[in-house]
Structure 1
Amino acid sequence: MSAYEELMAHERTTQALGSVAGRTGWDQETMMPEGAAELRSEEMAALETVLHARRTNSRVGDWLAKAQAPDETGEAILRHLKRSYARNTKLPEKLATDIARQTSAGQGIWAKARANDDFAAFAPTLTRMIDLKRQEAACLAEGGDLYDALLDDYEPGMKGAELQTLFNNMRPRLVDLRARVLAAEAPLPLDHSFDEAGQMALSSKLAQVFGYDLTRGRIDKAVHPFSSGSGTDVRITTRTSERDPFNCFYSTIHEVGHACYEQGIRADYALTPLGAGVSMGVHESQSRIYENQFGRSRAFTGWLYGQMRDQFGNFGVPDEDAFYAIVNRVGSGYIRTEADEVHYNLHVMLRFDLERQLISGELEVADLEDAWNARFEADFGVAVDKPSNGVLQDVHWSFGLFGYFPTYSLGNVYAGCLYQSLREAVPALDSDLSRGDTTAATGWLRENLQQFGGLREPRATITHACGFEPSEKPLLDYLDAKFSGLYGL
């Protein structure tokens, strides 16, 4: 075997073991009995020990030095493996194992603290996690910016300063649009009860309408919806609320966007570094365009209105136009995952600023809740009433996912660019969506973006699909046009 072939055989097994670790994490979120948390943290730590040893094995370095790529795909694989090897060899095995153990234990502690609205119960766990992530960042940064070192794990090549500039460019137009919309008359929210069984039935239908292959996936419930896996086993979760079915339906559509990206990657990329989404920003572009530009459009909500009447009967909304307005109702809510398109990025900017301060040491965990509450009231004009509506609402920090949050807004920016190009390429888009037919839209994304997985770098992936360099302008123009029309601005 050549060095390249030996490297690929080694990587295939490493990727398979990583899939096992991912499935174990999925089980922890959905089906694991509460009493198994301590054992599970040890299992996850053990898996990470094995994975870290494989990823840092000196033979990998030798193979990488000798390997000759047979083609463009091979060159991309080697690019990923060289980056991964350089990154992993900077981390001591004990630190990697400690982070895995803390990550597994932290999720359960966060869930209990959130249920009890008790930030103090979570604070020691978060403090320990931040300490570990600072150690990790110091190893990776080698004297550079700590936050950038963590961000690179989710959006390779991106820098905190570049994101700050992007957000600074976005904020004025978002704040202005928010002010104009909130000054207009808002539609009344839904006032009806929707049974859980009906929500899950329609949720399953929506998933399939958007192209989710249930022979290679499944839908379960979780406290915080997520997508997990790749290739032939991609699973999603959603959640239900008796008074808010949109929480279920749009969480499902959002996670289906992630899942369809993974299911749409070329089969011959499986168990290679190209067999998964190239970055979280690109991943979010898929979930956000499915959820918002498609799922919350006037065309698709007209179809969804009929489906909801079939499932739940008369639920107090007189027609499709009123339903469209309710789906896109703008308000200063507490919860990021339930936020309208106008407010959503402001939620992300809050988290981005706070987590950068936590990693740099400018903000300590003891002061985090007060800092969150003050910033939220300043940005949204509403005082946080309880931790589960504030600092405890997101699972990410319990998992150590520092650097993840800004990719949500980056995904929105990318989605805005993709939507502009897609509308030109699929002129019958609105007609299709009004019939609940997403085939052309999702097919365009699969053809131009999803199938390529990690073949190109993140920004190049978007540029290839759109035909132009991404910027925030298409997103902001889309939001202005949509909400000006909805609110008569």
Structure 2
Amino acid sequence: MTAFDELMAFQRETSALGQIAGRLGWDQETVMPRGAAPQRAEEMAAIEAVLHARRSDPRVAEWLDQAAPQDEVGKAQLREIRRAYHRAVKVPADLATAIARTTSSAQGTWAQARADEDVSAFLPVLEEVVSLKRQEGEALAQGGDVYDAMVEDYEPYTTGAQIAAIFDEMRPRLVALRAAVLERPEPAALTGSFDELTQMRLTQKLAVAFGYDLNNGRVDKAVHPFSSGSGLDVRITTRTSETDPFNCFFSTIHEVGHAAYEQGIDRDYLLTPLGRGVSMGVHESQSRIYENQLGRSRAFTGWLFDQMKDAFGDFGIADADAFYATVNRVHNGYIRTEADEVQYNLHIMLRFDLERALMAGGLQVSELEAAWNDRFKADFGYAVDKPSNGCLQDVHWSVGLFGYFPTYSLGNVYAGCLYQALRAAAPGLDAQLAEGDTSGATAWLREHVQQHGGLYAPREIIRRASGVEPGPEPLLDYLEQKFSAIYGL
């Protein structure tokens, strides 16, 4: 075997172990008994110790020096292995193990604190997580910006300053659009009771409609919807509310976007660094375009309206046009995952600024709830009413995902670019979506984005697919056109 062959064989084993660790995380958030949490923390720590040892194994450096890839794919494999190795060797093994143990435990503490509306029960373990992640960030940054080092885990080749500049460009038009929309009469909200088992049956149908392969996946329920896995085993979760089936349906479509990306990657890349989504921003471009530009379109909601009538009978919305307005209703709310398209990115900007301050040391964990509540009141104009609608609503910080939040808005920006190109490439798209057929759109995304996995850098894959330099203008144009039509602006 050549050095390249030996390196790739080693990487495939490491990737397989990483998938096992991911499955433990999926189990913890879906079916694990609550009392198993202390043992699961030790299990997660043990497997992280093994993974860290492999990721920082000196043989990887030797193979990298000797490997001679023969094509573009081989060069990209080495690029990603080299980037991951250089990061892994900077983090002490005991720190990586401590982070895995603490975040596994913290996830359960967060879930209970959220259920109990008790921020004080969560803050001590969050303090531990923040301390450990700061140490990791300092080790990775080696004198540079700690938050930039964290963003690199989720959106390679992007800095906090670059993200802030994008957000500064987006905010004025978003705030102006929101103000104009909120001056207009609000469409009717969905009311009534919707059987949760019926929701789950319809959500399975939605998952399949958007191309989710249930032979290599499954749909379960969790406190916080998420997607897990890659290759031949990709799983999603959703959640139900008796009074809000949209939460279930659009969470499912969103997570199917993530899952479809992983299922669509070229199988030749299975269990290699290229065999997963290249960044969380590109990942979010898939989930957001599935959920919003496709799932909340006038064409597709017309089909969904008929499906809901068949499932639930008359549910108080007169026709498909009224249903479209209800699905896209801009309204006051606290929850990021339930936010309308106009306001969603403002939720992300809040979290981005707070976590950036936490990592820089300008904001202490003890000050987080007050800082969140003050910022929310300033940005949205009304006060947070309870912790589960405030700083306890998201799972991310409990599991150490600092630097993850801004990728949601980067995903929206990328989705805007992709949708502009998709509309030009598929003039018959609306007619297909009106029949519940997403195959034209999803096939285009699979060809131009998903199949490539990690072959190209994040902005490069969006540039190749859309034909434009990634930026927020296509997204902002789309939002203004869509909501101006709905609200008669």
CA distance in 1: counterparts of 2:411 and 2:84, whole angstroms: 23
**Structure-2 residue corresponding to 1:146:** 146
Matched, 1:347 2:347: yes
CA distance in 2: counterparts of 1:15 and 1:50, whole angstroms: 12
C-alpha contact 1:332 1:343 (8 A) present in aligned 2: no
User: What secondary structure sits across from 1:215 in the alignment?
Assistant: helix
CA distance in 2: counterparts of 1:193 and 1:216, whole angstroms: 33
**Structure-1 residue corresponding to 2:431:** 431
Aligned residue runs from structure 1 range 31-430, under 5 A: 31-430=31-430
C-alpha contact 1:147 1:356 (8 A) present in aligned 2: yes
CA distance in 2: counterparts of 1:98 and 1:19, whole angstroms: 20
Alignment-mate amino acid for residue 61 of structure 2: G
CA distance in 2: counterparts of 1:72 and 1:332, whole angstroms: 49
Aligned residue runs from structure 1 range 438-453, under 5 A: 438-453=438-453
Q: 1:297-322 CA distances to partner (integer Å, 9 max, x unpaired)?
A: 00000000000000000001110000
How many residues of Structure 1 are paired with residues of Structure 2 in the alignment? 489
CA distance in 2: counterparts of 1:282 and 1:11, whole angstroms: 23
Q: 1:185-214 CA distances to partner (integer Å, 9 max, x unpaired)?
A: 001211111001110000000000000000
Alignment-mate amino acid for residue 167 of structure 2: F
Alignment-mate amino acid for residue 479 of structure 2: L
Structure 2 unaligned spans of 5+: none
Q: 1:342-383 CA distances to partner (integer Å, 9 max, x unpaired)?
A: 010000000000000000000001111000001001111110
Matched, 1:465 2:460: no
C-alpha contact 1:103 1:129 (8 A) present in aligned 2: yes
User: What secondary structure sits across from 1:229 in the alignment?
Assistant: strand
Alignment-mate amino acid for residue 2 of structure 2: S
Structure 1 unaligned spans of 5+: none
CA distance in 2: counterparts of 1:371 and 1:85, whole angstroms: 37
State the Cα distance separating 1:468 from its structure 2 match: 1.4
CA distance in 1: counterparts of 2:140 and 2:471, whole angstroms: 29
C-alpha contact 1:296 1:327 (8 A) present in aligned 2: yes
State the Cα distance separating 1:170 from its structure 2 match: 0.2
State the Cα distance separating 1:405 from its structure 2 match: 0.2
Q: 1:279-308 CA distances to partner (integer Å, 9 max, x unpaired)?
A: 000000000000000000000000000000
List 4+ stretches of structure 1 deviating above 6 A.
none
Percent identical: 67
State the Cα distance separating 1:332 from its structure 2 match: 1.9
CA distance in 1: counterparts of 2:366 and 2:80, whole angstroms: 38
State the Cα distance separating 1:24 from its structure 2 match: 0.6
CA distance in 2: counterparts of 1:173 and 1:415, whole angstroms: 17
State the Cα distance separating 1:223 from its structure 2 match: 0.2
Provide the aligned C-alpha RMSD in A: 0.4
CA distance in 1: counterparts of 2:268 and 2:323, whole angstroms: 43
CA distance in 1: counterparts of 2:451 and 2:280, whole angstroms: 16
Alignment-mate amino acid for residue 483 of structure 2: F
User: What secondary structure sits across from 1:278 in the alignment?
Assistant: coil
User: What secondary structure sits across from 2:217 in the alignment?
Assistant: coil
User: What secondary structure sits across from 2:228 in the alignment?
Assistant: strand
CA distance in 2: counterparts of 1:17 and 1:292, whole angstroms: 34
User: What secondary structure sits across from 1:218 in the alignment?
Assistant: strand
